[in-house]
Amino acid sequence: MNLILDPVAAIGRAFLGIVRKAGALALFALAGLSHLLRPPFYWGVFFNSLIEIAFYSLPVVALTAIFSGGVIALQSYAGFAQYHVQSAIAGIVVLAVVRELGPVLAGLMVAGRVGAAMSAEIGTMRVTDQIDALRTLSTDPMKYLVTPRLVAGTLALPFLVLVADILGVLGGFTVSVSKLGFDPQNYIIATFNALKPLDVLVGLSKAAVFGFIISLMGCYHGYTSRGGAEGVGSATTAAVVAASILLLAFDYLLTDLFFAQ
């Protein structure tokens, strides 16, 4: 009897745990967003978060985009040369970068850098009573810590992805022209011919969703962390892993929504 029921019970418990976690996360997100409608809004925290995410992530996102654009050009050339369609490389590079690689790679880089930092900062505030101290100083911690970061993440990622798009295409252009012998003018014309405004808009929309997810995971895991330094460490890891997985899952869903025929 137990041989049959125990595994079912274990699956049930795990499922209920996931549902409980998803519910808690949804309530946390709603609570964070609801403060947008109720003043005050902490502009100082917002601008600090915006600078932390958008400005300080620029080098890592830029380098990732440049090299990724270059790699796509090289790999595409290796494959397309067999069928004598090298001329499609400019289009492949720009579409791959703008639709997918720009948002996803920038998102993953920011998840690793900013999601972890947010979770560690808020988690440390939790275990050192700083969040309780905010409450005793008549300040709602959700309003002060979470809402400005959610907004900053949602606005900063599209900016970073726009930079990643430009530099990714530049990386592909540089490799194609300097290493693969493409004509610069024809490459640029082919790039603009392949690119549609909708591709850029969808890429930036994805970025906004990813930015929200990264900030939400960082804030949620930090805010709910328990148990001293070890708890903060676990929360930081969980924030990065959860943000990365959710980011890829939402990438699929959004791609399916916008580009599936």
Q: Which stretch binds other proteins (CB under 8 A): 68-76, 110-118, 127-135, 212-220?
A: 127-135
Residue 129 beta carbon to other proteins: minimum distance, rounded to whole angstroms: 4
Position of tokens 């270059």? 70
Residue 29 beta carbon to other proteins: minimum distance, rounded to whole angstroms: 21
Contacts of 153 by beta carbon, 8 Å cutoff, 6+ apart: 49, 53, 114, 211, 212, 214, 215, 216, 218
Residue 196 beta carbon to other proteins: minimum distance, rounded to whole angstroms: 43
Site string for other proteins, 54-83 (x = CB under 8 A): ------------------------------
What contacts 24+ positions apart, CB below 8 Å, involve 245-250?
A: 246/213, 246/217, 247/104, 247/107, 247/108, 247/111, 247/210, 247/213, 247/214, 248/104, 250/206, 250/209, 250/210, 250/213
As a 3-state breakdown, the chain gives helix, strand, coil percent values, each rounded to 5, of 90, 0, 10
User: Which of residues 6, 14, 59, 129 is near other proteins by CB under 8 A?
Assistant: 129
User: Which of residues 60, 117, 130, 250 is near other proteins by CB under 8 A?
Assistant: 130
User: Which of residues 8, 82, 83, 136 is near other proteins by CB under 8 A?
Assistant: 136
Separation CA 13–CA 208 (nearest Å): 34
What contacts 24+ positions apart, CB below 8 Å, involve 78-81?
A: none
Residue 128 beta carbon to other proteins: minimum distance, rounded to whole angstroms: 6
User: Is residue 246 within 8 Å of 217, Cβ to Cβ?
Assistant: yes
User: Which of residues 132, 184, 186, 230 is near other proteins by CB under 8 A?
Assistant: 132
Q: Is residue 139 near other proteins by the rule CB under 8 A?
A: yes
Select 132 or 183, whichever has its Cβ closest to other proteins.
132
Separation CA 41–CA 140 (nearest Å): 11
User: Which of residues 2, 82, 138, 185 is near other proteins by CB under 8 A?
Assistant: 138
Q: Is residue 39 near other proteins by the rule CB under 8 A?
A: no
Position of tokens 């790679």? 105
**Cis? peptide before 158, omega within 30° of 0:** no
Select 151 or 242, whichever has its Cβ closest to other proteins.
151
Select 40 or 184, whichever has its Cβ closest to other proteins.
40
User: Is residue 220 within 8 Å of 150, Cβ to Cβ?
Assistant: no
Separation CA 71–CA 161 (nearest Å): 18
Q: Which stretch binds other proteins (CB under 8 A): 75-83, 121-129, 163-171, 198-206?
A: 121-129
Q: Is residue 128 near other proteins by the rule CB under 8 A?
A: yes
Select 48 or 174, whichever has its Cβ closest to other proteins.
48
Chain residues that interact with other proteins, rule: CB under 8 A: 121, 124-125, 128-130, 132-133, 135-139
